[in-house]
Amino acid sequence: MAFEQDIERVFAEAGAIKERVAELGDKITRDYAGREITMIGLLTGAVTFMADLARQIRLPVYYEFMSVSSYGQSSVSSGQITVKKDVGRDVAGRHIILVDDIADTGLTLNYTATKLAGRKPASLKICAFLDKPARRETALSVDYTGFTAPDEFLVGYGLDYAQKYRNLPYVGILKKSVYNKP
């Protein structure tokens, strides 16, 4: 790909991602045996992970999406949460798994989980492809984690910088020279 020269090094290879997503799907299938799940993906970063994960779950899975942002075009969270798109169905009484690409500061996931919990789901769990606890600014419990991530700027497999790099089949560490431009 034309922009792979922007990657300092690979954090998670495509094969390791596929294996870990299958493991998460198996765990969720066991944890929710006999129940239906509503997965709520946070757009746009969670789409790749959520689609792969849903195919690994051997239970009925409903899809919903929300668009919630605290980054905009920046490489640093603004702390200001904006809901651009809410779910399209009532989640009361449903088993919800909130899916995101990365649990970073925790502000967006905490805000969204609190908002959804107020709608009285039967259960609510958080699933993040990457968990970056070093950046946490609020208490957040991630129930299902793909990988614990270093405190680096990561792109690929849904994660982006300025809407680029999402389509990389692996997760790479973005060179500082790409996002630290004057």
Q: What is d(CA 66, CA 42) in angstroms, rounded to the nearest whole number?
A: 5
Q: Which of 6, 52, 104, 160 does the annotation list as catalytic?
A: 104
Order of strands, sheet of 7-12, starting from the edge strand that comes earlier in the sequence: 7-12, 171-174, 154-155
Q: What share of the chain is helix, strand, coil (3-state, %, to 5)?
A: 25, 30, 40
Give catalytic status of residue 6 as yes or no. Answer: no
Question: Cα angle at 38 between 127 and 11, to 5 degrees?
Answer: 25
The encoded tokens of residue 68 equal 């919630």
Contact predicate 102/154, CB 8 Å: yes
Q: What is d(CA 128, CA 146) in angstroms, rounded to the nearest whole number?
A: 7
First to last CA, the chain: 25
Q: How many helices (H) and strands (E) does the chain have?
A: 4, 9
Q: Looking at the annotation, which residues are catalytic? A: 104
